[in-house]
Structures are given as C-alpha cells and as structure tokens.
Chains A and B, each alone.
Chain A
C-alpha cells in the first residue's frame, strides 16, 4: 500500500479515537516476520503511528473482541471481519453498540506463502501494491505481477469485500482492485468431480501433515466455546495425538460447527503452520449451505441461521 495511505489511515484512527471516545483500536502493524502484519491494540494517539494496512493483513480481527466485551472498542474491518462481527452479534456474543467499526474496502488479501516460495527473502518494503498490480523490487529490478494471481483462495472468490453497515468507511479505498468472477462452488466442484479415490487421497495427504495444533480453531473468530469438543474429557471424543482418526474427527466436526457460520475469511488457512488447504473444507461447507439453504453467514442478517431452523420442503436427498 502506498505510504500516504497509511498516513491517512493513522490520522483517521487518531481523530476517531479522540472524537468517539474509544478505549482502543484493533488494527495491524508490521511484525518481525516478513509479510505478516500482526494485530495491534493502540490506546493512544502516538501508539496509532505504527498502524499499517496492506495486502497481508489477513487475520480476522473479530477473534480478539471477546476479550473486550462491554468496552468501547474501535475496529478496522475488512468485509470478512464485518461479517464475523455480524455473526457474533447475532449469536449474542457481542453488543453492536459497544463497537465503532471503521470499514476498509478490501482489495483482497495476498498469498504470503506463494510469494515467499517464488521470491524467497521478499520483504514488505520491496512490494508496491498499485491497483490490480504488484510491483516487486528485487535486486534493483522491478517485476510486475497481476494481483489476481496472488490472491488467497478465500479472497479470490470473495464478493463482499467492502464492509456494510459500518460507522465510517475509509474513502478513498486503498486500492482499486477488480474482483474475480469465481465462487467457492467453482473451486469445490473441481474437487467434487475427481474420482472418489483421488478425493480420498487428496484429503489423506493434506491431513497427513496436520499436527492438531488447533491454530485453525484458535484463530477463527467464530470458535469461541469455552470448552471445545477437542478438549472434552466426558466424553473424550478425540485426543490431540495426530493420528488419522483424530485428525479426520477434528476437521469434519469443526466444519459441521462452521456450517452456516463460517464467513470464509480464510484466517484458518492463513494460520496453519502446515499449509493445509483448509479452503477446500470451509469452501465446501459454505458452498453447500448456500446451495441448499440459500444462506450466507454475516450477510443474510434477517434470516435465521440454517442449522437452527428447518423447512418441511428441505431436500431429502440420499435419505430414504
């Protein structure tokens, strides 16, 4: 993101912090890892001076809100952060009026792993994001890449980039990056069309890397239960030993809990230390909920959540 944009963002945060009497902001600052900004919680004007926004601010900030319940917090929200907050409000985990939401029209987040694999050692100040392009300065040369080719899978198919129903929206947007035509249905149908054995082998090979660290659960804005089924001892459904049964149990049940709630922010995939393609799972459940119940989490605010509701005309496919 061009530096002037960060200056504009910081000034906006500082003004609003004062004017709206916020206790603190939730936003991003650069971390010690390249292309991996971390959440920051500035309480003062000076502390806002490190805030940045760029194509690597993937993590869903709504995850942190449970620890500030009942306090006046400002949050910098992308489309998916806003949707996660909408689900949390609907589930009575947060009160909307406690929050001040500053929307940022999201240009779609970039795939850090892909960039670092292709360009090892890449650092934030070597990347300039301009419209639909990325310019990389590598040993004196400039390479121009199509932004679209480096988007995270969840962001490629996102059609709710600009958050709705916010208290203020950053204007102008940081970038004018076009959306793609794709949807999760496109991605998952390409897997669904594979022969059964290949699909089994695909997930077996993805899951064979899973170490059951639960990073994907911990980062998820919508996994807020005090006791997760993974930790339940009565009954002990599974253990954290990374064996195929436990891993399968964990992922299938996590997805069933996300059905009709997942906002497809991609934070889980971003957090996974083993680079497991979790979008193949949450994309599937998101696409199915949409297909079967015409529901999108955090968007269809007036409709009841699909799994706490039913219709007598629901499809009965494969059930005899």
Chain B
C-alpha cells in the first residue's frame, strides 16, 4: 500500500484521470478482452462496466458517473449494422448525438464524454482508443464541475 503512494509521488504527473467505460457485452467488451489476451498495454485509467448493449446506456448513467467522481466517460458498442440485437446501437446513436450536442452546448468539454464503436476483433483499436481518450481527458484535467455552487469556479473544469 505505502509503496504505491511513494511510486505515485515520484512520478512526474501523478494525476491520472478516472474514466468510466461502459462497454457492450458483444463487441467492445470482447474487444477489450482481446486487447488483454493479446498482452497489449494501455493506460490503467478506465473502470469498465459491462452492459448488454450500448443502447442500455442513457444520459442517466453518463451524468451519474461524472457526479460520482469520474473525470471522463466512454460509451462503446458494436459498429452500426453489427448490433447483436440488430438495432440497439442505431437507436443509441440518435440519443448519443443529441446528448453530445447538448452537453457541449452547455459548456462541458467535448473530451469528457466520448462514444466509440469497437468490434470484438479490434483489440489493437481498443488499446489505441483508451490511450487516445486518456490523453484527451488528461488535457482537460480533473473534473470538479459539480463540487461547488459558485458559478465560475465550477464552470472552468466542466
């Protein structure tokens, strides 16, 4: 335990973002699995939550993750046309586009909430995706948008 603390303090940038990743059971989770069994390395920043389908995820889960302390959220499912339930991700896509536009309009940094299609055979793509979104979330820093009632201090980290 104490070793971990020391290790962290010696690192140039100890802060690592926490990213909640909602992965669909049939494609993206299997893609993450493939990245694992292929021994690909990617930043340990994600907390994976397995869901049956990307359409299971609504704006509730995404905002709730931010409220619970996540610095970023990733939602990932099968490529359009490849949904295990045929149309789940196509329905989800409409919802996500509206949400994405709404959040960015409200001043939330685009990097905070991201969506990506990853198939079960895309282990390398998955590892690359996690690297990429980790960098993006790092660039906008820790999320403290909901901590204080005082307008400006909040807004700066949204």
A191, A201, A312: which contacts B105 (Cβ < 8 A)?
A: A191
A 34-72 to B, binary, CB cutoff 8 A, 1 in contact else 0: 000000000000000000000000000000000000000
The reply to whether the CB of A197 lies closer than 8 angstroms to some CB of chain B is yes
**Could you tell me the distance between the alpha carbons of A256 and B154 in the complex, rounded to whole angstroms?**
23
Closest Cβ of chain A: how far from B76's Cβ, in Å? Answer: 9
In the complex, residue of chain A having the shortest beta-carbon distance to the beta carbon of B118: A320
Contact across chains for B105 and A284 when beta carbons are under 8 A apart: yes
The reply to whether the CB of B50 lies closer than 8 angstroms to some CB of chain A is no
Contact across chains for A320 and B117 when beta carbons are under 8 A apart: yes
**Could you tell me the distance between the alpha carbons of A202 and B158 in the complex, rounded to whole angstroms?**
12
**What's the interface size class on B, roughly?**
35 or more
Q: Is the interface of B mostly helix, strand, loop or mixed?
A: helix
Which residues of A (282-320) have their CB < 8 Å from a CB of B? Answer: 284-285, 288-289, 292-293, 306-312, 314-320
Query: In the complex, which residues of chain A have a beta carbon less than 8 angstroms from the beta carbon of B60?
Result: 229, 237, 249, 253
Contact across chains for A244 and B148 when beta carbons are under 8 A apart: yes
In the complex, residue of chain B having the shortest beta-carbon distance to the beta carbon of A192: B105
Query: In the complex, which residues of chain A have a beta carbon less than 8 angstroms from the beta carbon of B67?
Result: 238, 245-246, 248-249
B 117-148 to A, binary, CB cutoff 8 A, 1 in contact else 0: 10000000000010000000000000001111
Which residues of B (27-79) have their CB < 8 Å from a CB of A? Answer: 58-60, 63-64, 66-67
Query: In the complex, which residues of chain A have a beta carbon less than 8 angstroms from the beta carbon of B93?
Result: 310, 314, 316, 319
**Could you tell me the distance between the alpha carbons of A271 and B108 in the complex, rounded to whole angstroms?**
27
Query: In the complex, which residues of chain A have a beta carbon less than 8 angstroms from the beta carbon of B102?
Result: 252, 255-256, 281, 284-285, 288
**Could you tell me the distance between the alpha carbons of A202 and B103 in the complex, rounded to whole angstroms?**
13
Closest Cβ of chain A: how far from B134's Cβ, in Å? Answer: 15
A204-B154, A248-B63, A253-B59 in contact; A306/B107 too (CB < 8 A)?
Answer: no
Which residues of A (178-214) have their CB < 8 Å from a CB of B? Answer: 188, 191-192, 196-205, 208
Contact across chains for B151 and A201 when beta carbons are under 8 A apart: yes
Contact across chains for B63 and A320 when beta carbons are under 8 A apart: no
Contact across chains for A292 and B98 when beta carbons are under 8 A apart: yes
Contact across chains for B145 and A314 when beta carbons are under 8 A apart: no
A-B contact pairs, 30 of them (CB 8 A): A196-B107, A198-B107, A199-B106, A200-B156, A204-B155, A204-B158, A205-B151, A229-B60, A237-B60, A238-B67, A243-B149, A244-B147, A244-B154, A249-B60, A252-B63, A252-B99, A252-B103, A253-B63, A284-B101, A284-B105, A293-B94, A307-B91, A307-B98, A309-B94, A310-B91, A310-B93, A317-B97, A319-B93, A319-B96, A319-B100
Q: Kindly list the 10 A-B residue pairs having the minimum CB-CB distance in the complex, ordered from nearest.
A: A200-B107, A245-B146, A200-B155, A199-B107, A310-B90, A204-B151, A245-B67, A204-B155, A320-B116, A319-B115
Task: Point out residues on B near A: beta carbons under 8 Å.
Answer: 58-60, 63-64, 66-67, 80-81, 87, 90-91, 93-110, 114-117, 129, 145-152, 154-156, 158
